[in-house]
Chain A
Amino acid sequence: MGAVLILAPVIVGSWPAIAAAAVGAASALGLAVGQAARRAVREEVEQAEQNVEVEMSNSEVLAEQLATDQTMILTKGTVKITVGRDARGHCKVCASGTGHTKAELEQMARQFTEKLTQCFIYDRVIKELKSKSFQVVNEEVMQDESIRIHVRRWVD
């Protein structure tokens, strides 16, 4: 008992923190992490290649932490997912590739943004809990892919 809260995630972090979450999400979804370079993103897109962008409106990449050419490229088969920061400072995920419809690519991009959000929030929550001397009693991934964390703390 006490209180029950339902919280909507907001991603505000430095590029290293977001990149770490992106690597975690990529690992969970079977994506390979490639070297990042904005010029690679600007490569001429083949005509047959589809391209879908998803902006994470609930996010903010702290600008001072992010060089203008910093992006991260993740690949799985013919699909390339690019994570970066748009002009407004929001995190942007772009899925592109051949052999997939726009709807499929959009679903992949959305699935990735959800996983990135979950990883980012998990990293942040665990870090803050440990910094306040909470002990993790139990932690498990449930069937619905949610992460359940049970922590405890003794106070005077």
Chain B
Amino acid sequence: MAQHEVEISISKTGDVRVHVKGAKGKACTAYAKWLAEIVGKVKDQQLTSEYYEPEGRTKIDLQQDLKVDDEAS
């Protein structure tokens, strides 16, 4: 089992800063896309070193039409 963590900060004006931790590659992208859809528009995005690390056998299923299976790597 893998642990995915998200730190979310909602400023007093409603701007949102999201930090996805523990998810790599496509899984990380899936979280980012999902959260962007919930909140609104992406103003800035930075991929950190973890994003580029080899993906494990993590599978996330956030929505029925959004499936990320890292086993393909």
Contacts and interface: CB of A to CB of B under 8 A. Distances in A.
A1 interface: yes
Q: In this complex, which of B5, B11, B23 has the most chain A Cβ atoms within 10 angstroms of its Cβ?
A: B11
Interface residues of B, number: 49
A122 B62 CA distance: 19
Nearest to A117: B14
B50 A148 contact: no
Secondary structure at the A interface, as helix, strand, loop or mixed, is mixed
B19 A125 contact: no
- Contact residues on A (Cβ < 8 Å of other chain), bracket: 35 or more
25 contacts: A1-B21, A2-B22, A2-B50, A3-B31, A5-B19, A5-B35, A5-B44, A5-B45, A6-B17, A6-B42, A6-B44, A7-B16, A7-B40, A8-B40, A8-B42, A9-B16, A114-B14, A128-B38, A132-B62, A148-B7, A149-B9, A153-B3, A155-B2, A155-B4, A156-B59
Given A132-B62, A144-B12, 4 more contacts: A1-B21, A3-B46, A3-B48, A125-B10
